[in-house]
Amino acid sequence: MESLIPLLLLAVGFVALILGANWLVDGASSIGVRAKMTPLMIGLTIVAFGTSLPEMVVNVFSCAKGSPGLAIGNIIGSNTMNILFILGVSAIIWPIDVSRVSIRRDIPVGFLATAAIAVMANDFFMSKNDIVNVNWIDGIILLALGIGYFLLTILNKVPQEEIESEQPVMPWGKTILALVVGIIGLYAGGELVSHNAQILARNWGMSESTIGLTVVATATSLPELITSIVAATKKNSGIAIGNVLGSNILNIFMVLGVSALITPLPFEPMMNKQLLILFGANALMLLFVFTGKGRKISRWEGAFLVLGYVGFMWFSLAMQ
């Protein structure tokens, strides 16, 4: 009986996420076309920011309430789910075209972001303790890297032929309404789902680190999942992969950066195994881009990514 109300609120959160994601994709596509942005850039900026709000909210609330242990686990789990499960499901729905810009800039920055958090979390140059912290200095460095990346993204010149002008353009009033309602829906839905998922997980006796890697990470990644699925069903692979890459970079540079400014984030050495899996997920994504015809992630490669996420979840749950 004590789990009934959290389950109901979880369902309400799902509805808010689905509706919010649909509005956000439509509004972002419309305003992006007006600004002559590519779908990739839309996904990397507008959509990635909106869908990363749940991670930001959960991490800030957790740090402020004295549970910073969730923060790094949440981001590692979310980023792994973004690549293996979300990108995989999107590719199954519609094969993902990967632009040259992503190969040259976004995928390498994703590797850099993962490497940065690995170095900071392990404190290679300073501490030999069993548990180290990502501190406020690390937070400032991460935020600076994030600002530099997004400035590079905005200032980058994109060839005119890569701009997909066939995307629908809504009137300005409806466009702004779609963006605002979409982000609010994602925020409210992500908060409802993540909060009640934590309640259910604790009722079922899961550890804090496992909650962060699995339940919380899955819940806070639902906006990325729904948004990418909606984009894929509309055959807009630019927003689908841009959303995943942008969210992963934003999660590490901005979300963890802000979290580390609030309070030091503890990192246990056992989490290095999950970091290695995240590195492997990035490498697998890059490998699939260069296999087969063109720069695509095909349906069968998407299915392989999804199977990889099932293995990650099994491994994380078995470690608790």
Residue 40 pLDDT: 67
Confidence of residue 129 (pLDDT cuts 50, 70, 90): low
**Structure pTM?**
0.79
Residue 109 pLDDT: 92
Residue 317 pLDDT: 77
Which among 318, 50, 15, 76 has a CA at the least distance from the CA of 218? 76
Confidence of residue 132 (pLDDT cuts 50, 70, 90): low
- Give the dihedral of Cα atoms 190, 193, 198, 202; nearest 10 deg: 180
- The tens digit of pLDDT for each residue in 173-220 reads 898 898 899 889 888 887 787 778 778 777 877 766 677 778 778 877
Bridge partners of 97, per DSSP, are 296
Which among 179, 190, 155, 148 has a CA at the least distance from the CA of 22? 179
Residue 284 pLDDT: 92
Q: Rounded mean pLDDT of 3-15?
A: 84
Bridge partners of 133, per DSSP, are 266
- The tens digit of pLDDT for each residue in 137-175 reads 999 999 999 999 888 877 765 544 444 445 567 888 898
Residue 283 pLDDT: 92
List all residues 6 or more positions away from 58 whose beta carbon is below 8 Å from its beta carbon: 70, 74, 190, 191, 194, 216, 220
Number of domains in the chain: 1
Q: Rounded mean pLDDT of 259-267?
A: 88
Bridge partners of 132, per DSSP, are 267
Give the range of the structural domain holding residue 49, as residue numbers without chain letter: 4-319
Confidence of residue 11 (pLDDT cuts 50, 70, 90): confident
- The tens digit of pLDDT for each residue in 68-88 reads 777 888 899 999 999 999 999
Residue 108 has pLDDT above 50, yes or no: yes
Q: What is the CATH number of the domain that holds 41?
A: 1.20.1420.30
Rounded to whole angstroms, how far apart are CA atoms 31 and 45?
Answer: 12
C-alpha neighbours within 13 Å on the C-beta side of residue 138: 27
Q: How many CB atoms lie within 10 A of CB 267?
A: 26
Distances from the Cα of 268 to the Cα of 34, 121, 261, angstroms = 47, 8, 19
Q: How many CB atoms lie within 10 A of CB 235?
A: 12
List all residues 6 or more positions away from 278 whose beta carbon is below 8 Å from its beta carbon: 76, 79, 80, 83, 114
Residue 28 has pLDDT above 90, yes or no: no
Query: Which range is least confidently modeled, 109-118, 151-160, 173-182, 289-298?
Result: 151-160
Rounded to whole angstroms, how far apart are CA atoms 283 and 77?
Answer: 16
Burial category of 233 from C-beta neighbours within 10 Å (exposed 0-12, middle 13-18, buried 19 and up) = middle
Q: What is the mean pLDDT of the chain?
A: 81
User: Length of the chain, please?
Assistant: 320
Q: What are phi and psi of 296, to 5 degrees?
A: -130, 155
Q: Which residue has the tokens 């991670």?
A: 55
Residue 1 has pLDDT above 60, yes or no: no
Q: Write out the two tokens for 113.
A: 């972001």
Q: What are phi and psi of 144, to 5 degrees?
A: -65, -40
Beta strands at 296-297 and 96-97: parallel, antiparallel or unpaired: antiparallel
